[in-house]
Chain A
Amino acid sequence: MPFFHEKAWSPYAAGVLIGLLQIPAFLMIETALGASSSYVTVGDAVASWLDPSLLKIDYVAKHLAATAKNLWQVALVTGIAIGAFISMRMSGARRQPISPIWARALGSSSSSLRYGVAFVAGFLMLFGARIADGCTSGHGLSGMAQLSVGSTVAVAAMFAGGIVTASLLLRRI
């Protein structure tokens, strides 16, 4: 299939494909597309093994229950990594260990600096997503498609936070 050997698809083709994934999500799992609660399921599974008292928090117990919804989302994000790997191998779009844009965005080509920034960024991203109860997928793709008022507010705040941060803390790429 030559389609799969191309490096770049139109954003409209990819967007339609992603939007269609709501069909199996709603029909089979009775939920909407989302990604960030899987971080709670996986992170808390490890953390509660080190500190069993964590299990007394209802929020943790709810995310660690072996329900279809919880494990479906962990499988979904695992599948994202597999799908991206397959797609990259088919098109031969090999990547450097770090994207070349970071040397300019951070004003430094130190890989340790990039790793440190990435860790802090991941922390902020998930701490924020859990406060808001959703990320780009749950609030963005799914919440906006459902015309949710709260999700629209969260997405506006997300783009505002992202634009301010990328303009003030990062250099022009």
Chain B
Amino acid sequence: MSSSVGIAILTGLLMGIVFGIALEKSRVFEPGMIVGQMQLRNFIMLKIFLTAVATGAVVLAVLNGFGFVKLQPKATLYAADLAGGALLGAGIALAGACPGTTLAQIGVGYRDALFTLAGGLCGAVAFSYAQPWLDKALIGTGPKLIFTDLVGIPFWQGAIGLSAVIAVILVLMERARSWRNDLGQDSDGNFAGGAEPFRHRAAPAE
């Protein structure tokens, strides 16, 4: 293994630890937050998501604007983005997690997240087997379109504009409902008192 790969692994681990702390502290990894967001009754997930997008956009406006980095946008594949995105969303609602937060759930000890992970690995393998066919039938190829190229302005201007719009949206959202009101009983997005505890296979009464 080359030393650059070793450095990449170490960088990934450290970045992941920071990512994991942010996901756990913000409580967005909780199934209650993610299902609550998809039922439009809890907005912590959207607030974190939009804040991270706006921050990333400012970061990239600077790094790309001064020529330090190239952008890495994905190809625009309308059919695949729509079909794949919808399946992904259905999975997120039923998992109460997304591919990244599944690992955060495992880290805090949610046992069902191990099944989400196993299902995810099987889904990735099943896709790999189907990929040569799906690539021809559905996915195909497409250009790496970004909105600022479509309207002919520099990326950094569009990125700063997007961040400004998101900032306004977040101020209005927070004014409408504070994030503290979405935390729930045990910072888990759970609002119903006295929920019936789960029965486990080891339990005698079943």
A12 and B21 CA atoms in complex are apart in Å by: 14
Tell me whether A8 and B120 are in contact (CB under 8 A): no
Instruction: Out of A19, A147, A159, name the residue touching B54 (CB < 8 Å).
Output: A19
Nearest A residue (CB) for B106: A81
Across the interface, do B123 and A132 meet the contact criterion of CB distance under 8 Å? no
Question: Which residue of chain B has the shortest Cβ distance to A119 in the bound complex?
Answer: B119
Main secondary structure of the interface of A (DSSP, over half): helix
Segment 53-88 of B: residues with Cβ below 8 Å from A: 53-60, 63, 68-78, 80-88
Q: How far apart are A106's CB and chain B's nearest CB, in angstroms? A: 9
User: How far is A154 from B145 in the complex, measured between Cα atoms in Å?
Assistant: 13
A128 to nearest B CB, angstroms? 3
Q: Are B72 and A146 in contact (CB under 8 A)?
A: yes
Residues of B within 8 A of A18 (CB): 19, 22-23, 48, 51-52, 55
Interface of B is mostly: helix
| Residues A150 and B145 in contact, CB atoms below 8 Å apart | yes
Interface residues of B in 181-206 (CB under 8 A from A): 183, 186-192, 195-201
Q: How many A-B residue pairs have CB under 8 A?
A: 606
Contact present for B128 and A158 (CB under 8 Å):
no
Complex CA gap A131/B80 in Å reads: 6
Provide the bound-state CA to CA distance between A102 and B84, in Å.
Answer: 25
Q: Which residues of A contact B23 (CB under 8 A)?
A: 14, 18, 80, 83-84
A157 touches B19 (CB 8 A): no
How many Å from the CB of B128 to the closest CB on chain A?
A: 5
Q: For chain B, which range describes its interface: under 10, 10 to 19, 20 to 34, or 35 or more residues?
A: 35 or more
Per a CB cutoff under 8 Å, which of B26, B74, B101 touches A133?
B74
Given contacts A43-B125, A81-B107, A122-B95, contact A158 B11 (CB under 8 A): no
With a 10 A CB-CB cut-off, give which of A39, A78, A147, A153 has the most chain B CB atoms: A147
Is the beta-carbon distance between B55 and A15 smaller than 8 angstroms?
A: yes
Q: Taking A75-B10, A75-B13, A147-B159 as contacts, is the C-beta distance between A125 and B20 under 8 angstroms?
A: no
Return chain B residues, CB-CB under 8 Å to A159: 38, 89
Q: In this complex, what residue of B is CB-closest to A99?
A: B31
Contact B147 A101 (CB under 8 A): no
Determine if A136 and B85 form an interchain contact, defined as CB atoms under 8 angstroms apart. Answer: no
| Chain A residues whose CB sits within 8 angstroms of the CB of B169 once the complex forms | none
Do B15 and A22 have beta carbons less than 8 Å apart? no
Contact yes or no, A77 B9, CB < 8 A: no
- Nearest CB to that of B135 among chain A residues? A59
Instruction: Give the CA-CA distance A63 to B129 in the complex, in Å.
Output: 13
Within 8 A of B (CB), among A1-56: 4, 6-33, 35-36, 39-40, 42-44, 46-47, 54
A interface residue numbers (CB < 8 A to B): 4, 6-33, 35-36, 39-40, 42-44, 46-47, 54, 57, 59-60, 63, 66-69, 71-88, 91, 93-105, 109-112, 114-167, 169-170, 172-173
Q: Which 3 A-B pairs have the closest CB atoms?
A: A79-B16, A83-B20, A19-B55
